[in-house]
Amino acid sequence: MCYDIKASYEAQLKRAKRRGDKRAIEEIIENLIPYTDLPIFHASGFKHPEMLIYPDASTDYPIVATWGMVPPWISDQDQIKSIWNKTLNARGETIFEKPSFKTAALHNRCLIYIDGFYEHHHFDNKVYPFFIQRQDEQPIALAGLWNEWENPANGGKMTTFSIVTTKGNSLMSKIHNNPKLKGPRMPLILSQKLEDEWLKPIVNNDDKLKIKEITEASPSVELKAHTVNKLRGKDYLGNTECISKAVNYKELIF
């Protein structure tokens, strides 16, 4: 599962920067960043933040997109409201089957670069938020699906995305403290090699199988986690830098 993320400028621009094209970076900062909610120290998917994603059609130059997939057959604002809280994540195992995701799974895959994500741990009837990041604290590349929706009423365009999830690893199991095999979920984290595989167009069945393989392999990236301040309700601090900082809960036994 993945409903809460941190996405700094540095993380979001990581892929654009790898070519060392300074002019391109300036352009992105000038023309795209103003339309995003960056920097995001914490955002809930349920607030549908605007971020940068790297689509297959333009692998090194990002576009602005809203978190919460709006499938092409949606016809008005009311339908958007009823669907986009349910399409923040897409189960990797079924992206080629679900009506909301199947077209995007074939033709509209993307990468989302974040610093880390947040998960809620339950202990003694209370909820403790954790921030999860790479052990080396480098940005994380997530597998995503995107779509451009056109409003039939006025031709207005809206680009949206969903984060692909997969089976959770042992750290996730511990945070979710779930003994069941059915197990916790986590976002699909891609190694550098798989990032490019994920964006490669599908032209035959082998390509499709390759993508399926990626969604089924458990992420090999080493992660670490610490408790942070509340992410929901009255005690929520909002989108402030300190929200991903470690906070000690004395009563919590983890």
Query: Would you tell me which residues interact with DNA (CB under 7 A)?
Result: 1, 3, 44, 46-47, 71-73, 83, 85-87, 89-91, 94-95, 98-101, 120, 122-125, 127, 165, 168, 172, 176-178, 180, 182-185, 230, 232-234
Query: 22-31 vs 9-17: helix axis angle to the nearest 10?
Result: 140
The distance of closest approach from Cβ of residue 188 to DNA in the complex, given in angstroms and rounded to an integer, is 10
The distance of closest approach from Cβ of residue 201 to DNA in the complex, given in angstroms and rounded to an integer, is 20
Give the residue with the Cβ less far from DNA, 13 or 140.
140
Q: Tokens for 127? A: 């909820």
Give the residue with the Cβ less far from DNA, 109 or 176.
176
**C-alpha torsion sign, points 174, 43, 106, 108:** negative
Give the residue with the Cβ less far from DNA, 58 or 79.
79
SS3 175: helix
The distance of closest approach from Cβ of residue 193 to DNA in the complex, given in angstroms and rounded to an integer, is 24
Give the residue with the Cβ less far from DNA, 58 or 94.
94
The distance of closest approach from Cβ of residue 27 to DNA in the complex, given in angstroms and rounded to an integer, is 32
- Are the beta carbons of 162 and 69 closer than 8 angstroms? yes
- Are the beta carbons of 96 and 102 closer than 8 angstroms? yes
The distance of closest approach from Cβ of residue 239 to DNA in the complex, given in angstroms and rounded to an integer, is 12
| Cα 110–chain centre separation | 10
Q: How far apart are CA 62 and CA 211, in angstroms?
A: 21
Give the residue with the Cβ less far from DNA, 17 or 174.
174
Let me know how many helices (H) and strands (E) the chain has, helices first.
Answer: 7, 12
